[in-house]
Structure 1
Amino acid sequence: MSTETRASALDAAPPQGYGAVFRVREFRAVFAAHLLSLLGVIVSEIALTVLVYELTNSPLLSALTFALGMLPYLIGGTLFAGVADRYPARRVLVVCDLVCAACVAVMIVPGTPVAALLALRVLIAAIAPVFTGTRMAALTDILGEGDLFVLGRSLLRIVSQSAQLAGFGVGGILLAVVSPRGAITITLGTFLASAALLRFGTKARPARTRGSATLLRESLSGARLVFADRRMRAQILLFWIPAMFVVAPEALAAPYAAHIGAGPAALGLMMCAMPVGHIAAELWVGTRLSGRTRSRIVYPVAAVGLLPYLGYAMAPGLGLTLLLLVLAGAGGAYVLGLDQWFVATVPEELRGRAMTLMTAGLMTVQGAGMALAGLAAEFWPVHQVVTGAGVLGTALSVLLVWEARRAGAEPPVHT
């Protein structure tokens, strides 16, 4: 199917609602596997951080354990992206889950050195973008390239946001009942269950390409092809640039709560506000808007989504801060339309690599954004740093929207 025909089908389709996605049997298996593996990752992150601290009594190593969950994304997503197109998707997904399960199995062995625990943490994190990109590409096989794909992708994203809210609470409760290694043992079961659901709940499909080059060369060539194409480059940057700046208040939530004299409960509300705004907006856009309308709001919402951060210039109290964070979270709803564009533009033989790269880059720029916000807060007050993130992020987003328009990033609509 040509890019124009796919774009027309995506944009012109009426809204179907999330219920239509759950009527697809294979998606139900993917959804359940996603929920299990995601909770497993979050709980294992918390438990492993506590375990490393118990073994070393080092706050630095404990914090490093958590940070290592984001750092290898760029490496794994760039060097191993070719796996997503070179091998059958179901096989890649199942093997990724089994490798993660094997890593967790070693973690729970008493006497495993701290260095080995950290290395295993890095390996799991390096696998994550390959798994996520392969699954995203596989959704086009399961749900097609139309509205169902956009809604299915949206549901997985909503679950990810919700799991972050619930996962830390579940992890805390587990650690109050069992040891850190006991909590990690539970995640071993979630990875194995996810592998079983994907193996027996989805169909075997052939690989997208039969590459003759080495895996590394094929992965790097995929990145070059994505960034050499002006339209794909503009689209992928529309995913990345706003995301880099939107994380600033989350990274600085603790010092800002201290600045306004708020307690731990208020800090928890501040951490939840942005995901709540994003989930609510994404559900509304996915349910109420057609594919054409989702496409139309991409540019304006991407351009203004960071403007709520300008309210931090007044050093607002808790109530207004929560409102600003909810509004900033709601600004992320433009990605549903952007998902439409991306799947309509990327050639099928490049889809796995492109989506793996997009996922890896997204996590990397968010980690970089958090680090840069923390660094800036060493020199300027927190509310000024968040305001600056809003100003700079909006300026770059507007420039990016201008470039995306010139590049024709929005696929043409043919009625």
Structure 2
Amino acid sequence: MAPDEPGGYRGVFRVREFRAVFVAHLMSLLGVVVSEIALTVLVYRLTGSPMLSALTFALGFLPYLLGGTLLAGVADKYPARRVLVVCDLLCAACAAAMVLPVTPVAALLALRCVIAAISPVFNGTRTATLADILGNGDRFVLGRSLLRIVSQSAVLTGFGLGGLLLAVVSPRGALGITACTFAGSALLLRFGTKRRPARGGDSGALLRSSLSGARQVLADRRLRVLMLLFWVPPMFSVAPEALAAPYADVIGIGPAGLGLLMCALPVGTIAGELYAGSALGPATRSRIVLPLAAVTLLPLTVYAATPGLGWALVALTLSGAGSAYTLGLDRWLIEEIPGELRGRAMTLLTAGLMTIQGVGMALAGLAAEFFPVSTVVAAAGALGTLSCLLLVAEARKTEERDGADRNMTSG
């Protein structure tokens, strides 16, 4: 089947290598979710410190930028399968070291940082490999969509399942399960995917290769705006999630209502992805990228009126559904990135996305110290929409420029 031959999500699953990547993603994602909960609980039990417990969770975000910037060259300098397997094995070793009773709290936090620094390299390499497995066309878009849907589903169910697991086993026992999931993912990738040669990239030192790749990607006007279209909306959309608990207090709803507020955005995201991936064709998904990106944060402005639970859920679900623009954007990006830069570009994309969400959460929390929660969320929607409109205008300009360049070349 050619890369652009229609087949929907079912057609993607017919590719044997993708099935291995998909199951490996499920396993490593399970490991990450379980380790986040188990390690947070373990650190709290060892120290009795809420601050250290919260820091343990935050360390899942902070090293992303470091790892994604300084280690991105790994994704192109070495064969992709080797990079993926080694990343999984390193994470398994870190989780196994956390299981040891003699491991002190400082070492637990350091190991958490190592796993977080490895994650963008793993995710970027896997995304680049996905293009090798599925091609640069529609199957790549749908494959990426499936991995995102799984990740969003983990937001809904993962922490609940992790909590249930800790009712049965100790935190260190749960970390032992995490080590096994990473090892299982490594085995699947080793024996379920083909060996492909390294893409090459910069032949110099790793640090220089990583930084030069980031410079090349961000110096290209078209690539830069496409990356920002991935990064900017999530920076603002995390505001209602970060402030869900205080907003629940404001409108007087209990824990069940708070749970609904936390679930609405990922539910909308999953629904939007599934609809766009299964009901819309590649051309339509491409046409809706910029219109959807322009308005995806607009529903959050309803918070200016301090809506009750029902209207807040509608706004959050609509905003989440708007993120379906990323399916078409995935194809634009993969078609623009030179092959020798693909691993580094995708690693940078992952690192930037996680980092900017952490920044967005921190800024939303800081703003809520000085302004009402509803005002902060509404402002995030308004400022985010303005930012997206500027990016959409820039994307149209670069699209016209690239089209003119191609026409001149062909002439």
| Residue of structure 2 aligned with 1:215, choices 169, 193, 206 | 206
Question: Distance between the aligned counterparts of 1:233 and 1:294, measured in 2?
Answer: 21
> Which of the residues 135, 139, 152 maps onto 1:148?
139
Residue by residue over 1:94-121, the C-alpha shift from the partner in whole angstroms, topping out at 9 and shown as x without a partner, is: 0000000000010000021100000000
The 1:45–1:299 alpha-carbon spacing in structure 2 relative to 1, beyond 3 Å, is same
What is the 5 A alignment of 1:392-403? 392-403=383-394
**What is the aligned partner in structure 2 of residue 6 from structure 1?**
none
Residues 90 and 205 of structure 1 are in contact (CA less than 8 Å); yes or no, is this contact kept in structure 2?
Answer: yes
- Corresponding residue of 2:74: 83
In 2: Cα distance, 1:15 partner to 1:374 partner: 44
Deviations 1:19-61 (A, max 9, x none): 0000000000000000000011001000000000000000000
Structure 1 contact 304–394 (Cα < 8 Å) conserved: yes
CA distance in 1, matches of 2:136, 2:393: 27
Query: Are residue 170 (structure 1) and residue 161 (structure 2) matched?
Result: yes
**Does residue 59 of structure 1 match 2:50?**
yes
1-side partners of 2:139 and 2:260: how far apart?
33
Equivalent residue in structure 1 for 2:336, among 322, 345, 349: 345
Q: Distance in 2 between matches of 1:387 and 1:298?
A: 23
- The match for 2:314 is 323
1:291 aligns with 2:282: yes
> 1:367 aligned to 2:358?
yes
Q: Which string of whole-angstrom CA distances, capped at 9 and with x for unpartnered residues, describes residues 181-200 of structure 1? A: 11111111100100000000
Give the whole-Å Cα distance in 2 for the aligned partners of 1:309 and 1:265.
Answer: 21
Does 2:369 correspond to 1:378?
yes
Correspondence 1:249 to 2:277: no
Q: Give the fraction of aligned pairs with identical amino acids, expressed as a percent.
A: 71
Mapped contact 2:292–2:322 kept (Cα < 8 A): yes
Which structure 1 residue ranges, 5 or more long, are not aligned? Answer: 1-8
Q: Secondary structure at the match of 2:8?
A: coil
- 2:150 matched to 1:130? no
How far does residue 212 in structure 1 lie from its aligned partner after superposition?
2.4
After superposition, give the CA deviation of every residue in 1:192-236 in whole Å (9 maximum; x if it has no partner).
100000000000000000642100000000000001111000100
* 4+ runs deviating over 3 angstroms: 409-414
Aligned: 1:28 with 2:19: yes
Cα–Cα, structure 1 residues 409 and 176, in superposed 2: closer, same or farther, change >3 Å?
farther
Of stretches 120-129 and 209-218 in structure 1, the one that deviates more from structure 2 is 209-218
Question: What is the letter of the counterpart of residue 197 of structure 1?
Answer: L
Cα RMSD (Å) of the superposition?
Answer: 1.5
Paired letter, 2:81: R
- Alignment check: 8 A CA contact 2:201 2:209 kept: no
Contact 1:244 1:368 in 2 (8 A): yes
Change in 2 beyond 3 A, CA 1:199/1:403: same
Contact 2:201 2:340 in 1 (8 A): no
For 1:281 and 1:390, the matched residues in 2 are separated by 19
Amino acid at match of 2:128: A
Aligned residues: 404
Check conservation: 2:72, 2:343, Cα contact below 8 A: yes
Unaligned regions of 5+ residues in structure 2, if any? none
- Aligned 8 A contact 1:15 1:286 in 2: no
Aligned partner of residue 309 in structure 1, secondary structure: helix
**How far does residue 381 in structure 1 lie from its aligned partner after superposition?**
0.4
Take 1:167 and 1:240, find their aligned partners in 2: how far apart are those partners?
24
